[in-house]
A and B are shown apart, each in its own frame.
Chain A
Amino acid sequence: MDTITTTTGLNYLNNGYGLKSWLLTKDHKRIALLYLWSVTAFFALGGFFALLIRLELLTPAADLVQPETYNKLFTMHGVIMVFFFLIPSIPATLGNFLIPIMVGAKDLAFPRINLLSWYIYILGGLFTIVAAATGGIDTGWTFYVPYSTAASNSHVILAGLGVFITGFSSILTGLNFVVTVHRMRAPGLTWFRLPLFVWSHYATSLIMILGTPVIAITVLLVAVERGLHLGIFDPALGGDPILFQHLFWFYSHPAVYIMILPAMGVISEIVQAFARKNVFGYAFVAFSSLAIAIIGFLVWGHHLFVSGESTYAGLIFSILSFLVAIPSAVKVFNWTATIYKGSVSFESPMLYVFGFIGLFTIGGLTGLFLATMGLDVHVHDTYFVIAHFHYVMVGGAIMGYLGGIHYWWPKITGRMYPEGLAKFAALCVFVGFNLTFFPQFIVGYLGMPRRYAMYPEEFQVYNVLSTAGASVLGVGYLIPIIYLIWSLKNSPLAGPNPWGAKGLEWEIPSPPPTENFAVTPVVTQGTHQYAPSREVGIAH
């Protein structure tokens, strides 16, 4: 192994310099970095809108911004965070970087389509930014009709097209992953030897392929309806707004699993590396990813409980929604069982794992509240819902994203990062997050509705807590951005496998060469054979 621990020679980072070698690259690793920069920029933009929202809600009156402006702020926060950060975050960066390496391939099946998907993403983003800059949209990120058809300004078409275009980037990424996993696996790398990260991305890709086209046609129809007066959804033109909600949530509920499943894959990798144990019940964790992807398509009607959906349909959707809890719980139990009696160490990626397990459990369990029809009538469109989905999306997806970025940073850049600062940042994120969103469960249960710039004075204490927590959370996000950039030049070299982790990606140099593998690896056992902890003790 000594021959490859020195990172002399070419790797994907120094194999060509200059703008052209990046903007026209077909290397999945460079495209992953293009995505990394762009999703981080969109995250910062979405975070900026969140900052303004929290500042406005510091006081009961609408004093920082007018209610009309506030409507635009939460809409832009939602649109950017959902479509331009959370959905591409892990798949397009870590997934893009790691999946070809994890299956022992030189690249994704369609490298040019991979690059194309980044350009499509950027184009969609530009549309949305132009819509925001030229006057914004105030429909909420859900584009519900008739808000988006009759009651809004005309930038809906621009923002809708932005979402439509970006959808294709998501479709192409998913298509690339599915074909790569089916057709590009190295000899001997059978399905049950694949890393769980690949399984969860495969499941994610299925949702991207089967769900995204439906929202694409839906927002396209809204745009056409506004532009050409075809009566599809607008009640004024004879359309049915509930049909819009059905089609919208057919994608957008599974889209939540596009956000959380890749994070679950990251957690499965990290938990094995820092518990130094094979994951407990590999097949269960692998199949639970597929189960979440499939059952996730059967539950969308729980968003329509109070929209006029029939009671019987609501009943069916309620029961189906409960079913998703089973594969989700399988994962949480299996990670916990993996940690049990492992030789656990507490590096910063592992801290994010602990954060994920706790926060995702709260997010998931409150989801069961919302799937219960009777209770949902009470908390629908309150801050309880806001808290619930932030626990899943931020507490789940962003925890996984940050944990994964830290865990694979040495592989991506060839450098370590300052561990002490990283631990401090992880703590900030955890504390800040809970301080921000836990009070929202309470204030939502007490009846504070979402999407208003003003609220009664008795809710102020919870909102002040929330805003204070958001500041801590913001610091927790800023610190990693600073030290990760700093680490590019100043941190010690990582070597191929700083964590002593298992998997094909840890057997090639850091940063990896352009071709990943000089010769196609032949796999003869599972890629994640961690010895039981006692045997590691003997081997060392």
Chain B
Amino acid sequence: MPTSGSGDYHPGPVAIQPGGHGDPHAVHHPKLQHHFDDMAQQAEASTLGMWVFLVTEIMFFGGLFMAYIVYRYASPLGFEEASHELNLYLGAINTAVLICSSLTMALAVRAAQTNQSRGTQVGFLLVTMLFGFGFLGIKAYEYWEKFHVGHVPGPYFVWDGQYPHAAEQFYSLYFAMTGLHALHMIVGISIMTYITIMAWRRTYDAEYYTPVEVAGLYWHFVDIVWIFLFPLLYLIGGHY
């Protein structure tokens, strides 16, 4: 036992020093928050935090996918019949639009990583948002179409196929899943707006680009959700 009766940490006379850092002589990056030791620790914490958040998003969407599995297992033919009424080509185009937006997002992160001009950074970010709006536009058109032909679940649901109940179930899930996804797209575009403004103010460079990277992780995740929604909703009735 050491005579001090405690572990090995001896604060000494300067125990209280508000705003103090481990080494007061070190030069800090202006974007380093006070409770981190260095930029690397700050960046690692942020990306890990985003990944953990994405895991919660996986489970969040997971509940809906669970419902999809259960009801499709209950009425596979009804789901195929209902899926056949979705516009496969619009779905495929939207998939491609999102893949394009993921590419430009990855290039935007790379532009910040490699110290490229704010014009390049902002350019890639704006194109990414443009693709995002494109996706939402096509989605809105599809929704309008479904309202038009009465495929919206509820008292006004119309179905002249063999499995009206399963079809209503399918469209309940279709609107819940794509609606939640579209909500995530809107959140993603809002985040991108903020990131674009900050990029325009020359915030991001090879030293500090974590916000762009973290926003990119979120954007790619929303893309991945669609990669699964597309076949599960649009393609199961493709061979009808």
What are the residues of chain B within 8 A of A506 when measuring CB–CB? 6
CB B125 to nearest CB in A, in angstroms, measures: 23
Complex contact B176–A221 (CB within 8 A): yes
Q: Is A283 an interface position by the 8 A CB rule?
A: no
Complex contact A507–B44 (CB within 8 A): no
Q: Is A105 an interface position by the 8 A CB rule?
A: yes
Q: How far is the CA of A214 from the CA of B5 in the complex (A)?
A: 48
What are the residues of chain A within 8 A of B4 when measuring CB–CB? 1
Q: How far is the CA of A497 from the CA of B13 in the complex (A)?
A: 18
Complex contact B45–A179 (CB within 8 A): yes
Complex contact A213–B56 (CB within 8 A): yes
Q: 8 Å CB contacts to B: which residues of A177-191? A: 178-179, 182-184
Scoring B residues 50 to 75 as 1 if CB is less than 8 Å from chain A, else 0, what string do you get?
00110111111111101100110010
Give the residue name and chain of the B residue nearest to A178 (CB).
Answer: B52
Q: How far is the CA of A240 from the CA of B8 in the complex (A)?
A: 60
Q: Is A69 an interface position by the 8 A CB rule?
A: no
Q: How far is the CA of A362 from the CA of B33 in the complex (A)?
A: 48
CB A198 to nearest CB in B, in angstroms, measures: 16
Q: 8 Å CB contacts to B: which residues of A1-31? A: 1, 3-4, 9-11, 15
Complex contact A504–B66 (CB within 8 A): no
Count of chain A to chain B residue pairs whose CB atoms are closer than 8 Å in the complex? 171
Q: Which of A217, A221, A232, A525 contacts B8 (CB 8 A)?
A: A525
Scoring A residues 491 to 515 as 1 if CB is less than 8 Å from chain B, else 0, what string do you get?
0000001001010101111000111
Scoring B residues 1 to 20 as 1 if CB is less than 8 Å from chain A, else 0, what string do you get?
10011111111111111111
Interface centre among B11, B56, B74, B175 (most CB of A within 10 A): B56
Give the residue name and chain of the B residue nearest to A105 (CB).
Answer: B35
Q: Which of A3, A11, A246 contacts B11 (CB 8 A)?
A: A3
Q: Is A119 an interface position by the 8 A CB rule?
A: no
Q: Is B202 an interface position by the 8 A CB rule?
A: no
Q: Which of A212, A224, A518 contacts B20 (CB 8 A)?
A: A518
Complex contact A230–B11 (CB within 8 A): no
Complex contact A519–B22 (CB within 8 A): yes
Q: Which of A175, A184, A522 contacts B9 (CB 8 A)?
A: A522
Q: How far is the CA of A417 from the CA of B37 in the complex (A)?
A: 37
Q: Which of B59, B154, B176 contacts A214 (CB 8 A)?
A: B59
Complex contact B168–A214 (CB within 8 A): no
What are the residues of chain B within 8 A of A182 when measuring CB–CB? 48
Overall SS of chain A's interface? loop
Q: Is B211 an interface position by the 8 A CB rule?
A: no
Give the residue name and chain of the B residue nearest to A187 (CB).
Answer: B37
Q: Is A218 an interface position by the 8 A CB rule?
A: yes
Known A243-B66, A514-B18; contact A522-B7, beta-carbon cutoff 8 A: no
Q: Is A238 an interface position by the 8 A CB rule?
A: yes
CB B62 to nearest CB in A, in angstroms, measures: 7
Known A213-B57, A216-B60; contact A509-B7, beta-carbon cutoff 8 A: no
CB B23 to nearest CB in A, in angstroms, measures: 9
Q: Is A247 an interface position by the 8 A CB rule?
A: yes
What are the residues of chain A within 8 A of B172 when measuring CB–CB? 230-232, 237
Q: Is A539 an interface position by the 8 A CB rule?
A: yes
Q: Which of B15, B18, B22, B173 contacts A4 (CB 8 A)?
A: B15
Q: Is B49 an interface position by the 8 A CB rule?
A: yes
A-B contact pairs, 5 of them (CB 8 A): A10-B16, A213-B59, A214-B60, A230-B154, A515-B17
8 new A-B pairs (CB below 8 Å) besides A1-B10, A221-B63? A110-B45, A184-B35, A209-B56, A214-B63, A224-B176, A232-B67, A509-B15, A518-B11
- A residues with a Cβ closer than 8 A to B are 1, 3-4, 9-11, 15, 104-111, 113, 171, 175-176, 178-179, 182-184, 209-214, 216-218, 221, 224, 228-232, 237-240, 243, 246-247, 497, 500, 502, 504, 506-509, 513-515, 517-525, 527, 529, 531, 535, 539
Sorted nearest first, the 6 A-B pairs with minimum C-beta distance are: A217-B63, A213-B60, A521-B9, A106-B35, A213-B59, A107-B35
